[in-house]
Amino acid sequence: MPIEFHCDHGKRLVLAKAYGILTEEEIFGYQREVWSREEIIGYDEVIDMSEVEKIESAQSNRIKDLAALAASMDSRSTRTKFAIVATTDYAFGLGRMYEAHRTMNDRSTKEVAVFRTMEEALAWISHK
């Protein structure tokens, strides 16, 4: 699977890492599979895109669709954070587009930010 994840229940955090060539279907599949789990409702999330070689089918309307799907799965009672680690300019730009769509979505309860390093992302996630 191009996106692997681990749930740290002690920290209430989902840590995900994407590898290789990443497709739209895999990204949507990750969102549906992971965030439909009741035991992680209200968790923060970090996804590391530093090992992604290519992102296929990344169209702006599909990024908006992904943001809408994710917002529809957010906990209504808890505000959480989602950090994207993107080391390439292309992935960083896509992450910023996703961040903008999440921010504009009225159903979204996750604060999204994009970072160049894992250290920056984890520092932001841990700061409440």
Residue type, 115: F
Instruction: Choose among 60, 48, 52: nearest CA to 93.
Output: 60
pLDDT value, residue 56: 85
| Architecture label for domain 3-126 | 2-Layer Sandwich (3.30)
Q: Which residues in 9-93 belong to E strands, given as ranges?
A: 13-22, 44-55, 80-85
Instruction: Choose among 75, 96, 87: nearest CA to 120.
Output: 87
pLDDT value, residue 2: 87
pLDDT value, residue 58: 65
pLDDT value, residue 115: 98
Separation between Cα atoms, residue 60 and residue 39, nearest integer Å: 31
Domain boundaries, the chain: 3-126
Q: Is 107 helix (H, G, I), strand (E, B) or coil?
A: coil
Mean pLDDT by 10 residues, the chain (128 residues): 92 97 93 95 97 82 93 93 96 96 95 98 92
Tokens 């160049």, residue? 116
Separation between Cα atoms, residue 77 and residue 74, nearest integer Å: 9
pTM: 0.94
